[in-house]
């Protein structure tokens, strides 16, 4: 298959993919990969396969194609191709919650600097790196990366990148419990979709609606949370977006739990857990198990709660996600206080404070811990943050 035919077939695949005929598109692209003798065409078709598998939540396949794409880039001996392939390696590892590997590949991208194309990818590299630092609960480093990505987006007038960064910032502020900002950023993302997103994939709308739903739930606006989550889920189902379906099910479950409706929450946690397991989102699994633990605690089933905590703790330690460990120690503290088991209680109080110190979650002004309750925060240019008050 020559250069022109390769190009035609790639376009045919893209047309099928955009018409929601994903499996047909994948068949066309795989055939190109087998038959094409054009390395640049093979590189491009691998990019299409990487994106498609990412959106379906087939992250292990995504990683396999990213490895092949890196080999193809080396064959082409072009720094731009190499930077792009390393970015795809970083993204694949980010989706598989291999956060240290993600950071390492992102650093490789930033050190390679080829031409203008590479410079345009820097915003996406910074975003992926920020998401990885957030996965490790390194909040200051995550914020530095997100702000850098936002600067690249503004300088290159890249509205799609700005939209993605706003969603990540929503997630960031949800974690450190500044819920006003956690809502502000996805609302900004939704505005960008409305103003500029006519030709964009619907996933951008779905993503902003999901992050708005999470923030609304945290703020206690449960009806708004349900509306946004339903809108997001509708798009996720239409497009076969398994990762987003899992997140929406988790948000539905959390919302029902906030209403103390454990009977409705638990089956939704189960459905979310099964997709998270299938796609390999281990951090998502920890979040599901945290929700399930809280359900058992509402029902005063403390031994079942401890079982869920044990599973979550093992996963969180493997990922290096310090914030999840802090939350788990906090739940253990409550359980052992109720059970009157003083030794275990003291053990988890000590571990809880160790986690707070490790994450440096203290206000630089008042010395109180950050992320204990909903509080407006202000970030300094150095990415240290403190209580707004």
Is the pLDDT at 114 greater than 70? The verdict is: no
Strand partners, 386: 378
pLDDT of res. 347: 86
User: Rounded mean pLDDT of the chain?
Assistant: 88
The CATH code for residues 1-122 is 1.25.40.10
> pLDDT digit string (tens) for 192-243?
999 998 888 888 999 999 999 999 999 999 999 999 999 999 999 988 899 9
Domain boundaries of the chain, sorted by first residue? 1-122, 136-240, 257-388
Alpha-carbon span 211 to 217, nearest angstrom: 10
In CATH, what number does 136-240 get? 1.25.40.10
Q: Residue 140: pLDDT above 80?
A: yes
> pLDDT digits over 333-356, tens only?
889 888 888 888 888 888 888 877
**Domain 257-388 -> CATH class:** mainly alpha
Helix (H) or strand (E) holding 319: helix 302-319
Instruction: Give DSSP secondary structure letters for 26-47.
Output: HHHHHHHHHH---HHHHHHHHH
273 near 239, Cβ under 8 Å? Answer: no
pLDDT for the residue numbered 200:
85
pLDDT above 80 (res 383)? no
- pLDDT at 329 exceeding the cut of 70: yes
pLDDT tens-digit readout, 33-80: 788 878 888 898 899 899 889 988 899 999 999 999 999 999 888 888
What is the per-residue pLDDT for 366? Answer: 58
* pLDDT at residue 308 greater than cutoff 80: yes
Q: Are 92 and 50 in contact (CB under 8 A)?
A: yes
Write down the H helix ranges in 77-202: 79-95, 99-112, 116-135, 139-155, 159-175, 179-196
Q: How far is CA 13 from CA 19, 35, 84, 219, 272, in A?
A: 10, 15, 21, 43, 30
CA distances from residue 158 to 44, 153, 161, 167, 251 in whole angstroms, order as listed:
21, 5, 6, 15, 29
pTM for this one? 0.90
> Mean of the pLDDT values across residues 278-284?
93
pLDDT at 297 over 60: yes
Q: Looking at the predicted structure, is the pLDDT value of residue 387 above 70?
A: no
């Amino acid at each position: 298959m020559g250069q022109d035919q390769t190009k035609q077939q790639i376009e045919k695949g893209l047309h099928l993919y955009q018409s929601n005929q994903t499996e047909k598109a994948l068949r066309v692209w795989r055939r190109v990969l087998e038959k094409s003798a054009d390395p640049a065409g093979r590189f491009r078709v691998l990019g299409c396969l990487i994106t498609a598998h990412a959106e379906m939540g087939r992250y292990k396949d995504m990683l396999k194609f990213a490895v092949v794409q890196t080999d193809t880039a080396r064959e082409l001996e072009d720094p731009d191709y190499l930077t792009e392939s390393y970015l795809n390696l970083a993204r694949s590892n980010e989706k598989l919650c291999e956060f240290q590997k993600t950071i390492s590949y992102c650093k490789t991208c930033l050190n390679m600097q080829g031409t203008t194309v590479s410079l345009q990818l820097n915003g996406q590299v910074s975003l992926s790196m920020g998401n990885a630092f957030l996965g490790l609960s390194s909040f200051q480093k995550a914020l530095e990366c997100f702000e850098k990505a936002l600067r690249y987006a503004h300088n290159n007038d890249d509205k799609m990148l700005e939209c993605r960064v706003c969603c990540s910032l929503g997630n960031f502020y949800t974690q450190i419990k500044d819920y006003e900002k956690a809502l502000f950023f996805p609302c900004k993302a939704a505005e960008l979709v409305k103003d500029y997103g006519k030709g964009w994939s619907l996933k951008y709308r779905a993503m902003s609606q999901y992050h708005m739903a999470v923030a609304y739930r945290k703020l206690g606006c449960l009806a708004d949370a349900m509306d946004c989550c339903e809108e997001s889920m509708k798009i996720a189902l239409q497009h076969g977006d398994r990762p987003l379906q899992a997140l929406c099910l988790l948000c539905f479950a959390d919302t029902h739990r906030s209403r103390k409706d454990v009977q409705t929450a638990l089956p939704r946690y189960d459905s979310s857990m099964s997709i998270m397991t299938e796609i390999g989102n281990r951090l998502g699994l920890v979040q599901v198990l945290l929700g399930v633990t809280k359900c058992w605690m509402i029902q005063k089933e403390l031994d079942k709660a401890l079982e869920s905590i044990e599973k979550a703790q093992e996963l969180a330690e493997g990922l290096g996600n310090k914030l999840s460990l802090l939350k788990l120690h906090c739940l253990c503290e409550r359980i052992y206080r109720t059970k009157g088991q003083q030794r275990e209680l003291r053990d988890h109080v000590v571990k809880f404070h160790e986690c707070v110190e490790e994450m440096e979650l203290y206000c630089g002004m008042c010395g109180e811990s950050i992320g204990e309750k909903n509080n407006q925060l202000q970030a300094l240019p150095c990415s240290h943050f403190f209580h707004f008050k």
